[in-house]
Amino acid sequence: MKQTQHRKSVSRPAWLCIGIAALVVAMCARAAQAPAQTNAGEVTLNIDTEQSKLHWTMGSTLHTVHGTFSLKRGLLKYDPATGKASGEIVVYATSGESGNEGRDKKMHQEILESGRYPDIIFRPDRIDGKAVGQGTCSVQLHGIFVLHGAEHELTVPVQAELSGDHWKGSAKFSVPYIQWGLKSPNTFLLKADPAVDIELEMSGPLQVAGAR
């Protein structure tokens, strides 16, 4: 009888240890099979200038003028958690054209003075709205717009699609160039709108800090 009791007292702790070990092994196996979590941090959007373009439109009493500018460089960084942004988008002011040589000459010499102010720059500082590291989003990008050597506060609505290591986006906004101190292109016969409409198409490589 004493021997039987002794075997029972030994077997219970032994089976308990085996059970705990089996549970630990099972939990480790589940953890190994679980997909890695993404730890999304600061997002960096590089702009491919060859695949990006700025279109502009200006209305007048005679006709609507359409034109383009070329991008010089572009980089945007932001934190989806805080909305804090940095970087800059730079446009060649000298690249502006509308398809009319005389009109473009006046634009560069008298209005933009692009020989003196060769860059048009936007420097973002924050994003208002739900920014993401992957997926689609519509946000308001706030920052400083530098035109004709002067800085102006501006908020730009942006729609973007971020997928894997690539992104694309668009922005539409108006620049009140007359209010900002640029010369009016008006003549006796032609009255131009005091603001020019901008449509910016962008795309390029995407990086997310801390993503696995």
On the question of pLDDT at 79 being above 80, the answer is yes
On the question of pLDDT at 16 being above 50, the answer is no
On the question of pLDDT at 33 being above 70, the answer is no
pLDDT tens-digit map of 147-204 = 999 999 999 999 999 999 999 999 999 999 999 999 999 887 889 999 999 999 999 9
Integer CA distances (angstroms), 185 to 111, 177, 190, 192, in order: 7, 11, 8, 7
CA distance linking residue 100 with residue 28, whole number of Å? 70
Q: What percent of the chain has pLDDT over 70?
A: 80
In the chain, the amino acid numbered 183 is K
pLDDT tens-digit map of 145-158 = 999 999 999 999 99
CA distance linking residue 92 with residue 149, whole number of Å? 13
In the chain, domain spans: 1-34, 43-208
Positive or negative, the CA dihedral 76, 77, 81, 82 is: negative
Tokens in use for 187? 């003549």
Report whether 169 contacts 135 (CB < 8 A). Answer: no
Give pTM, 2 decimals: 0.78
Calculate mean pLDDT across residues 109-126. Answer: 97
On the question of pLDDT at 6 being above 60, the answer is no
Q: How far is CA 202 from the centre of its chain?
A: 9
Does domain 43-208 match CATH 3.40.50.300?
Answer: no
Report whether 198 contacts 55 (CB < 8 A). Answer: yes
On the question of pLDDT at 93 being above 90, the answer is yes
Residue the block writes with tokens 């900002």: 180
